[in-house]
Amino acid sequence: MEAVLLKPDQVKGVVTMAEAIDAVRTGFLAWGENPEFNAPRRRIHIPTGVRVSVHQGGVPPAGATGLMTHCEWVKPFSDHQEYPRLNHPVTVLYDAAEGELKAIIIGEFTCGELPDNVAVTGLRTAATSAVGTDLLARQDADTVGIFGASGQARNHLVALARIRRLKRVKVYSRTPENRNRFALEMAPILDADIEAVARPEEAVRGMDIVLTATNSSVPVFAGEWLEAGTHVTSIVGSNVGLVKGGFATAKRREIDDATLRRSDVLGIASVQQAIQDEQADIFDPVARGVVRWEQWVEIGAILAGKTPGRSHADQITLFKNNAGQGVADVALGALVLEKVRRRGGGELLKV
């Protein structure tokens, strides 16, 4: 077998958001059926603020196994986290049948709807959020309140529009210019009314889905504002390595204890990840008795039919997209490889 090398300009916008969601769903379903197909993300930090993450997974239905690794320069502040430099991720794929090297893929995957929108593993993150939201949000949900107005929020809004027919969107960001720009630029991409709001509460009250796609290190809304039937999706993971290494003073949160207490269904990407990383939105509230580990349900288990998700329209549900998982990266990488190869792209590697 001849392996191929794909470069950054070949992976931009090569898949649609709907295709990315389907691929990620395939990865999580495979993992839900076999717990050995995925390992928790591992991450290291060095004093300059540079971090490296590794995501391993195997997705036999996609014909691939392997890993994705990425590196960023991170600057933590008291209430948020910034990324002065984002570097090219690298995905390494091996054949799932015989283990031969299939491809080395360099570059950030983006969707065709937003080919130039770059965020830290933004396409996979949004597609994973869409899978979890699709499982737990009401089927008739058509309004969304978004916290955040940068790359992750842009990808997420497109992703949510692929799983629900959105009619109304409210976006809140601490910076008026950012939220106004988001509403202006995203309106032509979606057939929905998008409104920038001046207060956090406006992005929660009356919304069917509340999405937090921020770089915040503190909760961005009060759980008391949530109404019956609302679904919440949150993406902030963990900075425990920064805290233990002495680079940050406190662990990051994006949702508060009230949101956890009021959620009838607590969905999550990986319980093992939450434990390994001592994630402040999950691990710490469990340690304090706010919720129990037994309440957390992995979306792979829901997809595999091993556990239920939402059962009533008036339930409040939460999906904590608590870290990128290798099964999603491998499934998405395999899809990108297939699409590029169909176009005749890729540099052959003699191995």
- 77-120 per-position pLDDT tens digit: 777 778 778 789 999 999 999 999 999 999 999 999 999 998 88
Residues 46-68: what's their mean pLDDT?
95
Res 241 pLDDT > 80: no
**How confident is residue 225, by pLDDT bands cut at 50, 70 and 90?**
very high
One-letter amino acid at 265 equals V
**How confident is residue 1, by pLDDT bands cut at 50, 70 and 90?**
low
Res 238 pLDDT > 80: no
Give residues with Cβ within 8 angstroms of 159, minimum separation 6. Answer: 17, 20, 21, 126, 127, 129, 130
Res 15 pLDDT > 70: yes
Q: Domain 138-320: which CATH class? A: alpha beta
- Could you tell me whether strands 231-234 and 209-212 are parallel, antiparallel, or unpaired per DSSP bridges? parallel
Give Dmax (Cα) for the chain: 59
Separation of alpha carbons 112 and 236, rounded Å: 25
Q: Which residue has the tokens 């001046």?
A: 198
The proportion of the chain whose per-residue pLDDT surpasses 90, expressed as a percent, equals 84
Element (H, E) at 136: helix 122-136
Q: Which fold has domain 3-118+326-349?
A: ornithine cyclodeaminase, domain 1 (3.30.1780)
The half-sphere exposure of 262 on its side-chain side, counting CA atoms within 13 A, is 18
Identical fold, 3-118+326-349 and 138-320: no
* Domain residue ranges of the chain, discontinuous segments joined by +: 3-118+326-349, 138-320
